[in-house]
Amino acid sequence: MKRKIRMGMVGGGTGAFIGDVHRMAARLDGCIELVCGAFSSNPQKSKASGKALFLSADRVYNSYYEMFQQEAELPEGERMDFVSIVTPNHLHFEPAKLALQSGFHVVCDKPVTFDIEEAKELKKIINRKKMLFALTHNYTGYPMVKQAKAIVAAGKLGKIRRCIVEYPQGWLATRLEATGQKQADWRTDPTKSGKAGAMGDIGTHAENLLEYITGLQITHVCADLNTFVQGRQLDDDGAILLKLNNGAKATLLATQIAAGEENDLRIRVYGEKGGLDWSQMNPNTLLYRTLNKSLQVLRTGVGQQAKTTQAAIRIPAGHPEGFLEAFANIYKNFALTLDQHLEGKKIKALNLDFPTIDDGIRGMHFIDKVVESAASNKKWTKI
């Protein structure tokens, strides 16, 4: 790279959980520079956030449309290259669309949009304008997730038969949204979150992880969605039986009422010849089982690993890499791709390893069909 890639941000005023995460992830490798932002719909708050982030005042905007307009007028070499959109779900589409139309590439938090129509429209613009778009399904950024994908792709498990993916959290076991907690508030509000609650927030991560690792696609769902906490409008728990496009079967559990659980996303994949087991809370370990042999504990950076895995590792084995590093891998690959794009080079396959609008559309389809299935007496709903 000849220069740092320049990032703007929509949303993520100081104090917002996910805005900080995106910024730390973008900073980690030193190849992205935050140059501007519209951090809040409240101009005061946006200014204050920009100041706290050491931005010059003239690059902190009152609104994203102002930002896109004014940045577009800056000379190349100064204006932002892409924008990172870290607002609640219902506020993804408009800024993403406008950014793309204004010639800015986009990194967007997940789920990609409020509904599937919006997602499809974004895809059209992306394709038409040949823009880059990354969706932060960040769990695919972990080195051992990439290693799992590589093992499956290499056929080491044989044909996949049974998958189990689960994502238990406990933070919504009580009616947290009633206390004014901001994260809980919009996530449980159907006008902001979309038609699904837990299933949209974390179920889509599970769905994306399953398809990423196995290289398979979900074809049918049989969903049971629940709202256990009284007064809540959206699902806070759900379990799904799944069919995959090679004949394999899976279960997917996403719950936010598993009292006492932190963030225990876990996936197990079993094929004819072996199985894999990965847990987000112990992310540098990947259990690899084979028929009649000893369990192998694959570890970040130990032994021969796939190129995608190696590219996702920053420090030697035994020095734990965590959530932010995995998140940063999305940003790093996006930045490297964008750099090649801007330089007019052929983009390296290795750097294309980040989720795109297609993952976003799959996720919105998934939400749609899961909600449809949950309301149906029929066992299987096609996806």
Write out the binding residues for its own copies, residues 22-41 only, by CB under 8 A: 23-24, 27-31, 34
What is the length of the chain? Answer: 383
Beta carbons within 8 Å of 111's beta carbon, 6+ residues apart: 89, 194, 200, 201, 204, 360, 363, 364, 367
Under rule CB under 8 A, residue 274 binds its own copies: yes
Restricted to residues 138-167, the positions that interact with its own copies (CB under 8 A) are 157, 161-162, 164, 166
Pick 57 or 291: Cβ nearer its own copies: 291
Give the residue, chosen from 150, 324, 342, 352, that forms a contact with its own copies under the rule CB under 8 A. Answer: 324
| Least spacing, CB of residue 306 vs its own copies, in Å | 14
Stretch touching its own copies by CB under 8 A, among 37-45, 103-111, 291-299, 330-338? 291-299
Determine the Cα–Cα distance for residues 83 and 208; give it in Å rounded to an integer. 23
| Least spacing, CB of residue 97 vs its own copies, in Å | 29
Pick 178 or 317: Cβ nearer its own copies: 317
Determine the Cα–Cα distance for residues 28 and 331; give it in Å rounded to an integer. 9
| Strand 249-255 relative to strand 266-271, pairing | unpaired
Give the residue, chosen from 320, 343, 348, 382, that forms a contact with its own copies under the rule CB under 8 A. Answer: 320
* Burial zone of 247 (CB within 10 Å; 0-12 exposed, 13-18 middle, 19+ buried): exposed
| Least spacing, CB of residue 218 vs its own copies, in Å | 14
Q: State the residue for tokens 């919504």.
A: 172
Restricted to residues 336-365, the positions that interact with its own copies (CB under 8 A) are none
Determine the Cα–Cα distance for residues 301 and 313; give it in Å rounded to an integer. 7
Determine the Cα–Cα distance for residues 353 and 336; give it in Å rounded to an integer. 11
* Burial zone of 15 (CB within 10 Å; 0-12 exposed, 13-18 middle, 19+ buried): exposed
Give the residue, chosen from 124, 273, 307, 345, that forms a contact with its own copies under the rule CB under 8 A. Answer: 273
Pick 40 or 113: Cβ nearer its own copies: 40
| Least spacing, CB of residue 124 vs its own copies, in Å | 34
Restricted to residues 229-268, the positions that interact with its own copies (CB under 8 A) are 237, 239, 241, 249, 251, 253, 255, 257-264, 268
Per-residue binder mask for its own copies (CB under 8 A), 52-81, x = binder: -xx---------------------------
Instruction: Name the amino acid, one letter, at 227.
Output: T
- What separation, in Å, do the N-terminal and C-terminal C-alpha atoms of the chain show? 41
Of 215, 179, 218, which is closest to residue 366 (Cα–Cα)? 218
Q: State the residue for tokens 């996949």.
A: 160
Give the residue, chosen from 173, 196, 199, 213, that forms a contact with its own copies under the rule CB under 8 A. Answer: 173
Determine the Cα–Cα distance for residues 168 and 260; give it in Å rounded to an integer. 9
| Least spacing, CB of residue 293 vs its own copies, in Å | 5
Determine the Cα–Cα distance for residues 277 and 269; give it in Å rounded to an integer. 7
Stretch touching its own copies by CB under 8 A, among 65-73, 113-121, 122-130, 288-296? 288-296
Question: Does the N-terminal peptide bond of residue 355 adopt cis geometry, omega within 30 degrees of 0?
Answer: no
Under rule CB under 8 A, residue 48 binds its own copies: no
Under rule CB under 8 A, residue 218 binds its own copies: no
Determine the Cα–Cα distance for residues 241 and 222; give it in Å rounded to an integer. 5
Residues touching its own copies, count (CB under 8 A): 89
Under rule CB under 8 A, residue 178 binds its own copies: no
Give the residue, chosen from 8, 95, 275, 363, that forms a contact with its own copies under the rule CB under 8 A. Answer: 275
Give the residue, chosen from 57, 73, 294, 349, that forms a contact with its own copies under the rule CB under 8 A. Answer: 294
Stretch touching its own copies by CB under 8 A, among 15-23, 73-81, 209-217, 340-348? 15-23
